[in-house]
Each structure stands twice: as structure tokens, then as C-alpha cells.
A and B are shown apart, each in its own frame.
Chain A
Amino acid sequence: MTEPAVAVPVASMNSHAPAAPSSSRRFTILGLLLLVLFLASLYVPGFTVKSRYWLPLFSKYMALALFALSVDLIWGYTGLLSLGQGLYFGLGAYAVGYSLKLQQAAHAAGKPLLAGPDMAMPDFMDYCRLPGVPAWIAPLINIWLALGLAVLLPLVVATIFGLVTFRLRIKGVFFALITQALVLAVYTLVVNQQPYTGGVVGMTYLAKLELFGHKFVMADMYFLVTTVLVICFVGCAILVHTKFGKILTAIRDNENRVLALGYNTAMYKTFIFAISGALAGLAGALFVSAYGTTGPDSLGIAWSIEVVVWVAAGGRGTLVGAILGAVLVGLANTYFNDKYSEAWPVILGSLFIGVVLFLPEGILGGLRSLGKRLLRILPQAAPALEKPAPTPRKEVNSTPPRSSSTSDETHPEPPQPHEVKAIISDLKGT
């Protein structure tokens, strides 16, 4: 360890903050530019893809990307592995699903889109001989109410669950398994109550989403979903770079230490869990609108576990990775289901194994390591390495990066006379 500089000139001691090296400022601008490019590129399919088969699929991928984003918030940044986020996604999906289903029934029967004693009944309720649309479902015919509920209901459920669970300091494996049990319970409930929920089949033949009198189909739908995704992304990006976000990563690294500093970690975890739930619900709502059907699978265990692999494959703890992972796995899913549908589960399973064993940092992490190695070859670019990028983690679920020997290089950075404060630092690097 270098001798601490006790005899430092008084002038610099009282002056400004030690500055981030100017090279990192360059890096940040480059990173920001790449990010904007990435977000813009998300809009491209809306303009270029015209196929009636592919465009709705892309909308679906965007909705799932939002779902993945919500999981990255709690898992990538806060270290909470929940295997039951499908619950919140499903709540949102069903809320809007009911709405669209009721609307469709009303259209088919030529009735107005209002809740009333003789509303048109959805087919599954009809088959099961329900006397009428239940009072707690009827108001959902109003799409705004349904959308609001799609976000608020998961928020409330997540808050309650979080408050109870995190206060009891339940974490790790316990937490993961409990969330699974919960989602299984709700799944079983939904499948069982066929008259009310459509059972195993779910709800099909839904109306198209109509807001402000405008029907959202094809390209319109795609732009809507993508815009919501981008807005949420920006919101999340800002959030994780505030002090709040830093506390989240600190909680992931070492919760005991955060407690010892006086922060009520249970509250922080509950907060981010609630936000994640709300986002998942929103994703569910968009998914149903884009995809046209919903079923208990959206509430299922398989879904909830799969979303974790999307995030892991893309790159955990980088919001971009979540979107990337969701889209790539979605594309792979569609491709294989077309040609070799029998092979898909095997490929998905291998993806689970592969991500855990070989690529815990996901694609982005792999690119980053590759990039670091490439940059090392070019001597001029060495200062850029000073902006620390997390060293590759050995495990998907571990927290502290192992410090490798390469990171002990000492290039002393002379403090710059000016102060640089990057609010949004290199989004790919931090």
C-alpha cells in the first residue's frame, strides 16, 4: 500500500473534489451517445417490419423487455432473486385482459361499453353459466380503470408482500422459494376458478386496445409499447444513478454494512420491489394488448423463472442487458418454435445452464471483457481503462466482483483543477 500522502499542499486539500479523469468524461459522452442510438434503434422495426405475423411479435418482445427491466431492477441492482414476478405481470395482464374481453363481448352483442346489469358476458362466463358479469369484474370494461388497476394492484400487492418479507430479513434461497410458492398458489387459484377467469385456456379473442378513440394495431401498437418502454427505461436509468440507486447496489453487495450505516434496508427493498411490481404489471397490460390473448401461463412458474434467464443472458445489472436479453431470447423462441419446436426446451434449458456456468455477466459482460481485452492492445486507449468497469463476477448470483491481479495497476491520476460531476456516468461501465 502506498504511503498515505500526509504532507499534501494545503491548497489542494481545501479545494475542489478529486476529479474523474477527463478520459472518463469522454467515455461518458460516448456511452450516452451509444445509449441514445440503442433506444432509437428500438423504434426501427415499427418502420421497417410490415408483416402481420412479425410486427405483433415485436410488440410482444417490447412488452417482455419491460418485464425484464423490472426484474433487473430488483435482481441486477438490489440482488433480490424473486422467482415469482410473473404474479405481478399476470395481474396486469388479467386486468387489461378482462377489459378487452368485456369490450369484445359488448361489440359482438352490439351493446355500449358501459358496466351495467345486463352487460354482454364473455364466452367463458357464458359457458360456465354464470348469472351475470360479477360486480368486481364489470367496471373493468373501462380501459382506463383497467390500465390503472394493472399498475396499482401489483404495486399494492408487492408493497404488502415486501413489507412483510423484508422486515423479517428473508433473503436468498428462502425468498426465491417463497415467491415461487406464492405464484404457484395464485396460478392454481386462477386455473381453478374457470367461470371467473377462463381457467386453463384463459381469455382469447380480445378487442383491440382503444385509447382516446384511437385503435392501436400493428405499427401504432408497436410505437406505443416501445415508447412506454423507453420512458420507463429512462426513469429506471435515472433512478439507479441517484443515491437511492447506490444504496440498492450497496444492499446487494453487503446488506449488513448498509444496516450498520443506519439505513432501513427493508424499506428500500420494499420500495424497489413495489416499483418493479408496478412495471411488471404495466408490462403485462401491454403484453395482452399487443398479443391478443392471455392465460394463466403468464402467471406461471415457468414464465417467472424464464424472465430471470433473459436478464442474465443480456447482462444483469445493466438495464440495457435486460432489454437485449428479452428481445434475443424472444427472437430465438419464435425462430425455433417455427422450425424445430421440439428443440426449443432443450435450447432454453441449455441457456439456463450456459449462463450460470459460462457467461454469468451475460452478453454485455462478455462484450465488455472482450472490449477491455481489445483496448489493452491499443496503448493510447489505456487511460480509458482507468474508468473502472466491474471485474467479471464468477457467479451470476454473487455480489462482490473478484479483484483480479490486472486491476491493481497503479496509474496515479493527478487531480484536475476543475470539478467534474457526472450525474449519469458511463451507463455501460457502472
Chain B
Amino acid sequence: MNVLALSGRARSRALKTAFYVVLAALFLWLTGGWLVDRLRLMTGTEWAEVLSNSLSLSSILILTALGLAITFGVMRVINMAHGDMMMLGAYTAFLCTDRQAIPILVRNLGQLLHRDWQTDFGLGLSLYFAIPAAFFVTAFVGFLLEKCLIRFLYKRPLDSLLATWGVGLIIQQVVKLGFGANLQPMHLPEALQGGWTMTNTTITIPVYRLFIFGVTLFCLLLVYLWFYRTSFGLKIRAVVQNRPMASAMGISTRRVDSLTFAFATGLAGIAGCILAHLYNVKYTMGNDYIVDAFMVVILGGMGQLAGAVGGGAIIGTGNSVIEKLLGNTSMAKVVVLVGVVIFILNRPSGLFASKERTYD
């Protein structure tokens, strides 16, 4: 047979590469000069700010995205209320640490029922207590959510997306009714205030940012140990890889699902608690992070834990760097979002793709 050997595949690949090279060259030519100047002008303090920002942002994104990745990986469920779980964690921290919190709550509840309730009782616990409190409270809410709603929605990612968005709306409104629509500032314990200076340099990083980083590392360690070193973690992995088989072998998939979902939500709670002390607490704060968290999960590969970590680091750092360069938070967000979308369009499976043969 005579074959007309036009390897079209190689040709289209060459065209694609050429396109990107031209695009990159154009981009560099337009912005290169400005970029180099701007980079040269960056002082040590600014680099320190970038570093501390990226540490905290990455940590928060990683913690949130980890929960999402776990939920999607184990149950093929998209939880749009995840950001609001984070918000619940923040408000738990608020309740635990701020003496004014419970009075506000009581007063608002009273207003709702047209009664005049007042109280002076308030908890004034420290942040160190608030973190596990946030974890457990949020995990409990997640557990309830799973039992009441999520378990009907397994393997239905788009349905769960819509339903959990509805849950998110409800949670936001409930919190708004309970605590009001105001921003609540939070106070750091003294040990975590101030900065830490790296030796022999002028670079100072706020202690709290390092604390965040430490907490995140600790959580990552916990997750790793739990998933890969305990028998329950083995059960989780079995369910992820082959649910019917795991069930046939006597693993209670129901239990795995509820506990895993609760844990994933708890992680978001911790993220929220940390975030509360970084910025203010507001009932809509979940919305700011949910899309970013999803971008992290997609970037890293849906359901891949390592991907959530890698993606979180990349997006967190990218955001901080670009924010410094552009001087504008919103624009940085736009650039990063668009960048991630472009990357995903090129590589839909994300950074760490699962090597499965699937027919969708």
C-alpha cells in the first residue's frame, strides 16, 4: 500500500508550540521592560511581604482545598458549601475568643423571636483552644450535612454542586441572622503578635504567618498519617479505588463517607479559624475563597491530595507575587484565575493526573 505519510499529528503539535512561543514572546516584549524594572525596585521588605503573604495564603488554600479534594476523591461530591464551612470555623473562633461574641449572638437571636435577650456571658479563650474547637464544631456540622443530604448525592457531582450551593445560602443567612452583617475584627494572642527577623537580614516576617504555616504543616502531617498509616486510612483508600469491592469486603462505606466528610469539613474549619485572625470575620467570607479553592483542586488534579498541596502552593505564591508586582489585589486575582483556566485548558487532568483508563 502506498501511504501518504503526512503525520498530521506532529504537524498540529508543531503549530501549537509555535503559537505559544509567539504568544510568550509577545507578552515578554510588551511587559518585559516594565517587569524587569519593577523587579529591580523591589526592596527586601517587599520581598518579605511577598513571602509572608504567600505563606499564609498558600496555607489557607491548601487546608481548604485539601478538604475539597478529599470529598471529591472519596465520594465524587462537589461541596459548594465548603467556603461556608470555613466561615463557620471562623465564627467558632470568634465565639471562643471574643467576650462580646455570645452576647451578640444572644441578642440577635432574641431580636429574631421578638424578645429582649441579654447576657454578659462570654468566652475569652485563647487561639490555641479555638483551633481545635473550630475543627470539631465544623466537623460536626459536616457530619450532620453528610447524614442529611450528601449521602443521597454520591457520584453525582453536578447535583451535589447545586444542592450544596443551596446549603451554603442557608448557612450564610443563618449566620447573618445570628451575628449580624458587620465585620468582626479578631485579636491575636500576644505571643503571636509582632515579627520575626531572619538572622543577618532585614527581612521580617510576622510571627502569625509563620504560625499559620506551622499549623498547616502539622495538619498535613496528620492527614498523611491518617490516610497512609492507619487502618481506617486504608479503608478510605480502598473505598476510593473500588467502592463496591470495598463494600463487599466488609468495609462500612457509610462510615467511611461520614467520617471522611466530617474530617474534610473540619479542615476547612481550621482554615477559617486561622483566616479569622488574619482578616475580619464576615458571613460572606466563604465566597471569597470557594472559587480559589476549586481552582486549586482542579489545578492539582481532581481528587489528588498531593495536587491540592502543590496547587495551593502555586496559586498562593502566584497571587502574592503578582499582587506585589501589580499593586492591586483584585487584578492579581483576575490574572491568576485566567492563568489557571488557560493552564487547565491545556492540561485538563491537572498537575498530578490519575493514570486510569476510563471511558467517560
Contacts and interface: CB of A to CB of B under 8 A. Distances in A.
A388 to B, nearest CB: 25
A235 B166 CA distance: 33
B330 A345 contact: no
B162 A348 contact: no
A185 B338 contact: yes
B149 A191 contact: no
A181 B315 CA distance: 14
A308 B166 CA distance: 12
Given A346-B173, A396-B162, A353 B330 contact: no
Interface stretch (B152-160, B202-210, B242-250, B274-282): B152-160
Contacts of B167: 349, 352-353
A185 B165 CA distance: 19
Contacts of A357: 149, 152, 163
A351 B166 CA distance: 7
A65 interface: no
Given A352-B165, A356-B163, A174 B344 contact: yes
A353 B163 contact: yes
Interface residues of B, number: 42
Contact of A349 (B173, B287, B331, B337): B173
B170 A188 contact: no
B337 A184 contact: yes
A170 B337 contact: no
A369 interface: no
Contacts of A170: 345, 348
Q: Chain A interface: which size bin?
A: 35 or more
B157 A188 contact: no
Contacts of B344: 174, 178
- Chain B interface, DSSP helix/strand/loop, else mixed: helix
B66 interface: no
B271 interface: no
Interface in B154-212: 156-163, 165-170, 172-174, 177
A155 to B, nearest CB: 20
A176 B158 contact: yes
Contact of A173 (B78, B340, B341): B78
Nearest to A309: B162
B43 to A, nearest CB: 26
A74 to B, nearest CB: 13
B107 interface: no
Contacts of B162: 305, 308-309, 312, 352, 355-356, 396
10 contacts: A180-B291, A189-B334, A192-B328, A346-B169, A346-B174, A356-B160, A356-B162, A356-B163, A396-B158, A396-B159
Given A170-B348, A396-B158, A397-B159, 7 more contacts: A169-B348, A178-B345, A181-B337, A182-B338, A189-B331, A353-B167, A355-B162
List of 10 A-B pairs having minimum Cβ-Cβ separation, nearest first: A352-B166, A349-B169, A349-B170, A397-B158, A345-B173, A349-B166, A192-B330, A185-B337, A356-B163, A353-B166
